[in-house]
């Protein structure tokens, strides 16, 4: 699926594929004016291995996703990403159901956790760079009724950690330290740095 390119500060000099169906990641790239195509990765998402850190897991998943898409689109620049929420090194993925969402949100309430996004960029020549960004997120103390009301909106269903900082779930967050876009799902500054260093994108005035 080709995105509708908006005017923005950057332009792509090579075909780019976003290997993710996340509308949040798609919007972050669209806002920069970069043209790209969305090809959802078919890679499976295995559970974390014993002792695997949230950073290592997110990077492994991001590379698996990017590599699967690159195998189908070998002549294009592929971006794969995976975002996880971690509390005391416990990796929280997407909730299985509303009960699981309440468990996650209750555990996060009033505490500081980390949001980790792994990103893997693979070039047509096979060159790849895989990295991760980590943001500390401080949550306010939320009552059980508040959490149940939030879960009833349906927003937590497909979100790592059962909340979306850019959506209704913004009321849950007291403060963050680090990249905001990382919490949304894609550390934009670092992605631009990599794409720019490889000559894949340039400022529109260049």
Which of 56, 75, 82, 100 is an active site residue?
Answer: 82
Give yes or no: 97 in active site.
no
Q: What is the DSSP secondary-structure string of the chain?
A: -B--PPP-SEEESS-EEE----HHHHHHHHTTT---EE-------PPPPTT--HHHHHHHHHHHHHHHHHHH-TTSEEEEEEEEEEETTEEE-S-SSHHHHHHHHHHHTTSEEEEEEEEEEE-TTS-EEEEEEEEEEEEP---HHHHHHHHHTTGGGGSGGG--TTSGGGGGEEEEES-HHHHHT--HHHHHHHHHHTTSEEETT-
- Catalytic residue numbers read 82
């Amino acid at each position: 699926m080709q995105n509708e390119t908006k005017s923005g500060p950057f332009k792509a000099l090579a075909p780019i594929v976003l290997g993710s169906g996340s509308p949040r990641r798609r919007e972050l790239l669209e806002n920069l004016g970069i043209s790209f195509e969305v090809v959802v990765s078919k890679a499976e998402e295995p559970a974390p291995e014993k002792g695997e850190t949230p950073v290592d897991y997110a990077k492994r998943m991001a590379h698996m996703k990017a590599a699967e898409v690159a195998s189908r689109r070998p002549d294009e620049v592929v971006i794969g990403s995976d975002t996880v929420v971690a509390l005391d090194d416990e990796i929280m993925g997407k909730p299985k159901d509303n009960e699981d969402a309440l468990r996650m949100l209750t555990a996060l309430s009033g505490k500081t956790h980390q949001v980790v996004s792994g990103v893997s960029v693979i070039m047509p020549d096979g060159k790849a760079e895989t990295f991760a960004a980590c943001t500390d997120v401080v949550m306010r103390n939320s009552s059980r009724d508040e959490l149940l009301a939030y879960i009833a909106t349906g927003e937590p269903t497909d979100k790592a950690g059962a909340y979306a900082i850019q959506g209704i779930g913004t009321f849950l967050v007291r403060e963050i330290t680090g990249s905001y876009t990382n919490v949304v799902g894609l550390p934009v500054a670092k992605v631009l740095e990599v794409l720019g260093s490889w000559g894949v994108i340039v400022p529109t005035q260049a």
